[in-house]
Amino acid sequence: MDTIQKLQLLSEASQYDLACACGTNDTDRRKRGKNGSWLYPVSLPQGGYSVIFKTLMSNSCINDCKYCPYRIDSDVRRCTIGSDEVVGTFLEYYRQKKVFGLFLSSGVISNPDKTMELLNDTAGLLRKKHNFRGYIHLKIIPGASDAAIEEAVNLASAVSINIETPGIRSFGKLTAKKNYMNDIIAPLKLISRLTQKHSRYQRVKKTTQFIVGASDETDAEIVRYTAGMYKKLNLNRVYFSSYQRGLGDSNIPGEERKYIRKEDGFLREHRLYQVDFLLRKYGFIESDFVFDEQGHLFLDDDPKNVWAKRHPEFFPVNINHAGKYALLRVPGIGPQTARMILEIRKEGKIRKIDGLPLKGKRLEKAQSYIAF
């Protein structure tokens, strides 16, 4: 295979990994470019728009993750690409200003450290030989040694290791080869230590991803782990990727999982992103979220509305006196609107509804929860 054929095959595989800290909304995370499926159009966290070059180094893997189309016993065409090939092609795009950065991941080729070395060598070639100072996101290979992980952190702008499920129990249903505590949790903790405030690597961003719905995990468990990881491991982002039936092993027990329909899976993923947003930007804490009897978020209402309906004692919120976080509890009011309300208040009282920077559906939502 030539480089482009390899990239075609390997970028197919990389589309399932969403833990790339550049997309800002639902659609960004699954988009792929027209001129090469390894190009991912994204909007940047700092505003604006660009493209990321995203590929696996190899789709061969010694592991057996049931949800993954590239696990050891899958009958798929395999290939591995060399560091020179990735660097050469990436730099061509970069010099033409068609991409702003590189995202590298890989199946585990023969052992975790050998694979991590391949990723690190590619990043090292870019940094040292080509003096590339731009964005490189490296996936940490589960089971890689501390030294290999530190080398990745040293080279990358961002690193991620996918947690996959919230806890050993649900993880154990998906793989017999990976060890949850040693291969996933220990590296997450190490990355967090290496990149803590005032450390040498504090600039490096760190993210993780859950595969949602492949095992029998509940939303309550995912939310508990998500809140815990933001608090204790200081992660920059947690991503959620809905398991798509048929991609991996069709023998994953179906009856244990609540959401079997593809559209319900995506809606579940969407609700988890709403929770994530409420945790990061709205001052919500884990105990604010309400789950059904099976421990799942409600698919038919967003988690903020659900909270508001359950807490009539909190409302109405007085638009002229409430602080930022009280305003953010009002359905229809987001961070930007809350900021605008605080600004308008500096000029004087807001006396009626049409003095609010809110329109349409969001205004309708907020009306019954506010007072002047």
List of residues contacting ligand SF4 (CB under 6 A): 61, 63, 65, 68, 70-71, 107-108
Whole-angstrom CA distances from 125 to 119, 120, 130, 229, 311 are 10, 8, 7, 32, 56
The nearest distance, CB 55 to ligand SF4, in angstroms, is 13
The nearest distance, CB 78 to ligand SF4, in angstroms, is 11
The nearest distance, CB 142 to ligand SF4, in angstroms, is 6
Considering beta carbons, is residue 110 or 202 the nearer one to ligand SF4? 110
Say how many CA atoms lie within 13 Å of 357 toward its Cβ. 14
To 10 degrees, what angle do helices 219-232 and 262-281 make? 30
The nearest distance, CB 186 to ligand SF4, in angstroms, is 16
Considering beta carbons, is residue 59 or 337 the nearer one to ligand SF4? 59
3-state DSSP assignment of residue 218: coil
Maximum Cα–Cα distance across the chain: 69
Residues 6+ apart with CB under 8 A from 69: 13, 16, 76, 247, 248
Q: Are strands 205-212 and 237-242 parallel, antiparallel or unpaired?
A: parallel
3-state DSSP assignment of residue 14: helix
Considering beta carbons, is residue 57 or 238 the nearer one to ligand SF4? 57
131, amino acid identity: N
The nearest distance, CB 119 to ligand SF4, in angstroms, is 13
The nearest distance, CB 131 to ligand SF4, in angstroms, is 31
Considering beta carbons, is residue 71 or 205 the nearer one to ligand SF4? 71
